[in-house]
Amino acid sequence: MTASAVAGLGIALLPDWLCRDELADGSLVDLFPDYECAAADFGTSTWLVYPSRDYMPLKLSAFIDCLKSEIPEFA
């Protein structure tokens, strides 16, 4: 997700430790510096980022199905 945000593909909710260098060198900007939030604030801490639904490898499809069965909020 860090690389995607740096590449300009969108905003991302990232832990400080994961993007500390990018924030320091200016390749990422903290949009809400006066606020703290956690992934748990959004009801789930599971996100999947993948390039396309046109071609989805069987392993990825199986992984998503597993997540859906194990984490009801993900479905």
- Which two structure tokens, joined as six digits, stand for 44? 């789930």
pTM: 0.52
| Alpha-carbon distances, residue 6 vs 14, 15, 28, 63, 67 (angstroms) | 12, 15, 6, 26, 27
Confidence label for 20 from pLDDT (cuts 50, 70 and 90): very high
B/e letters for 50-70, b = 16+ CB within 10 Å, e = fewer, are: eeeeeeeeeeeeeeeeeeeee
Is pLDDT of 6 > 70?
yes
| Strand, coil or helix: 44 | coil
Share of the chain above pLDDT 90, in %: 23
Q: Band of the pLDDT at 27, cuts 50, 70, 90?
A: very high
Q: Tell me which of 28 and 11 has the higher pLDDT.
A: 28
